[in-house]
Amino acid sequence: MSAQWYDGNISIPGCDKNMPGTIMAMGRLNRPSIMIYGGTIKPGHFQGQTYDIVSAFQCYGEYVSGAINDHQRMNVIRNSCPGAGACGGMYTANTMASAIETMGMSLPYSSSTPAEDPLKLDECRLAGKYLLDLLKMDLKPRDIITEKSLRNAMVVVMALGGSTNAVLHLIAIARSVGVDLTLDDFQKVSDQVPFLADLKPSGKYVMEDLHKVGGTPAVIRYLLELGLLDGDCITVTGKTLAENAKLFPSLAEGQQIIRPLSNPIKETGHIQILYGNLAPEGSVAKITGKEGLYFSGPALVFEGEEAMIAAISEDPQSFKGKVVVIRGEGPKGGPGMPEMLTPTSAIMGAGLGQDVALLTDGRFSGGSHGFVIGHVCPEAQEGGPIGLVQNGDIITIDVQKKRMDVQLTDEELVERKRKWTAPAYKANRGVLYKYIKNVQSASRGCVTDE
C-alpha cells in the first residue's frame, strides 16, 4: 500500500494471526481501511454428536488413554471441519474478529457471520461503499483505534471468554498506533467485566449459534446497556459504536448463549495476569471457573512441546497431580512462540483436566482449556526462572493472589542461574535469526520494530 500510494484498503483475513497482522499494518499505514473477516466455520455432525476442530485434537488424548479406539478417533477427525471458515468456537480467530468489530475496524456482523453464509458477500459489497465514505471523511485507523476503543475490545474479549492470544495481539495493535497497552490494563478490565458467554472451548456453543441469536452487534448492544462499553467510539461506518448498535436487534428472547449479568459464568474475567518468582515480568492464565483457583504440585519439565507429547502418549497417568512445564517455546526460544494446543488437548482428552496444570513460555490456542498459564516472562531462552525449574520442584499457582511461584529461595534461584547456560538458538541465519534478534517479550506484544 505504501509503495504504490494506494488511497485506501480493504483486507480479508481469515484466521488467528493474519487478522491482528492486518490491523497492525492498517495502523502503521494510517490510510482509510476496513477489515472483512473471512468468517467462522460451521460445526460438524456425526452420529448425533457435534464436533469442531478442538474435538479432533482432544480425541488424541482419549485415544492414548484407551477411552476410544482408532476407528472412533478417525470418525471424529473426519467430521470436525465440514467446510470453509475459521475455527468455530470462541477461539483466537473469532476472539480477534469480535474484538476488531467492537474496536470499530470492521462492519457490524463481520465477526459472527459464517464464512459460507451469503451475507458474507453482502458484507464485501458494503465494504466498498463504506470505504468510499471513509475516504470522503478522511477517517483513518488511528482515528478509530484509540485507548477507549482498545478497552472496548478488551471488554468483549472478557465477556465472550476469548483467547489469551488477544493479550498479545491487542498489545501489538496498540503499539502500531502509538498507544501503550500493558498486561495490567487487561487485569483491570478482567476485574470489572464478567464472563458471560457459554461458548467453546469451555462452554457448549459455537459462533454460528451466537450469530443465530443476534450475533456480535446484539452482544455489543447488550454490553452497552450494561454500561461496560464506551459507545462514543467512532467506527468504520462513520457512526459511533452506540449509533450502530441502535440499528440492530437485541439478543433473541430466551437465548441460552449469553448469560444475564445476574447469572454470569464467572463474576470477573477469565483472563488473569499472574506474577511471582516464576514470572517476574508477568504471565497470562485462562481461568474460566471450572479449573478452580489454586493448584500446587511437583514440576514435570519438558524441553519443548514434542517431548511432552511423546511422554503423555506413553503414560498419561504419570502426569496426574503434576505441574507440567513446557519451555523453550517463547518468542526467541521457539522461535515464534508456538501455541500449545496439542499438549492441552492431550491432557483434556486423557481426562486429566482437573489433575494437571500446565505452564509455558509459549502460547496457547484459543481452543486450549484447563488449568493453563502461558506467556511466562522472561522466557527460558533469556534465562527466565522457568528455565531454571527442575523435575520435582514444587510449583504453586494461586489465582486469587495472582501469583505463580516455585518453592525455591532467592539464593537457590541465583545459584541455579549462575550454573545455567543459554540454549543455542534454533536458527542462526536468515529470517528466523533476524526475528530472534529483534523480537520483544510476550509482555510487550512480541513486536519486532522497537
How much is the average pLDDT of 246-270?
96
Residue 339 or residue 109, greater confidence = 109
Q: What is the rounded distance in angstroms from the CA atom of residue 216 to the CA atom of residue 108?
A: 7
The cell for 169 is 495481539
CB 121 within 8 A of CB 47: no
How much is the average pLDDT of 379-406?
98
Distances (CA, A) of 188 to 74, 100, 137, 155: 43, 20, 34, 10
* C-alpha 421, offset from chain centre: 32
Q: Which of 328, 284, 30 is nearest to 182 (CA)?
A: 284
Residue 309, strand partner residues: none
Three-state secondary-structure class, residue 323 = strand
Q: pLDDT by residue (tens digit) across 61-80?
A: 889 888 999 999 999 999 99
Distances (CA, A) of 259 to 88, 115, 256, 263: 20, 26, 7, 6
Q: Percentage of the chain surpassing pLDDT 90? A: 86
| Residue 146 neighbours by CB distance under 10 Å | 18
- pTM for the model: 0.95
How much is the average pLDDT of 155-172?
97
How much is the average pLDDT of 201-230?
97
Instruction: Catalytic residue, from 98, 112, 345, 365: name it.
Output: 365
The cell for 102 is 467492537
Q: pLDDT by residue (tens digit) across 389-402?
A: 999 999 999 999 99
Q: At residue 368, does pLDDT exceed 90?
A: no
CB 88 within 8 A of CB 366: no
- Residue 389 phi/psi, 5-degree rounding, is -70, 140
Q: For residue 365, what pLDDT is reported? A: 79
Q: At residue 226, does pLDDT exceed 80?
A: yes
- Sorted by sequence, the CB contacts under 8 Å of residue 335 that are 6+ apart come out as 425, 426, 427, 432, 435, 436, 439
Cα angle 86, 152, 225 (rounded to 5 degrees) comes to: 105
Q: What is the rounded distance in angstroms from the CA atom of residue 293 to the CA atom of residue 54?
A: 24
Helices (H) and strands (E) in the chain, counts: 16, 12
Q: What is the rounded distance in angstroms from the CA atom of residue 97 to the CA atom of residue 203?
A: 19
Look over the chain and give the mean of its residue pLDDT values, rounded to a whole number.
95
Q: Percentage of the chain surpassing pLDDT 70? A: 100
Q: pLDDT by residue (tens digit) across 287-319?
A: 887 778 999 999 999 999 999 999 999 999 999
Q: At residue 342, does pLDDT exceed 90?
A: no
Q: pLDDT by residue (tens digit) across 83-136?
A: 999 999 999 999 999 999 999 999 999 999 999 999 999 999 999 999 999 999
How much is the average pLDDT of 234-252?
98
Q: Which of left, alpha, beta for 38 (phi over 0: left; psi -120 to 50: alpha)?
A: alpha
Residue found under cell 452506540: 242
The cell for 373 is 498459564
CB 337 within 8 A of CB 304: no
Q: pLDDT by residue (tens digit) across 422-432?
A: 999 999 999 99
Q: Which of 322, 376, 370 is nearest to 346 (CA)?
A: 370
Dihedral in degrees, nearest 10, Cα atoms 344, 345, 350, 356: 10
Residue found under cell 471468554: 161
Q: Which of 28, 165, 19 is nearest to 448 (CA)?
A: 28
Is 365 annotated in the active site? Answer: yes
Q: For residue 4, what pLDDT is reported? A: 84
- Sorted by sequence, the CB contacts under 8 Å of residue 360 that are 6+ apart come out as 325, 326, 327, 329, 340, 373, 374, 376, 386
Entry field: residues in the chain: 450
CB-count burial class (<10 Å; 0-12, 13-18, 19+) for 311: middle
Q: At residue 23, does pLDDT exceed 80?
A: yes
- Sorted by sequence, the CB contacts under 8 Å of residue 373 that are 6+ apart come out as 274, 279, 283, 284, 285, 357, 358, 359, 360, 397, 404
Fold classified for 271-444 = Glucose Oxidase; domain 1 (3.50.30)
Domains of the chain: which residue ranges? 9-40+88-245, 44-78, 271-444
Q: At residue 367, does pLDDT exceed 70?
A: no
Q: What is the rounded distance in angstroms from the CA atom of residue 302 to the CA atom of residue 414?
A: 21
Q: For residue 290, what pLDDT is reported? A: 77
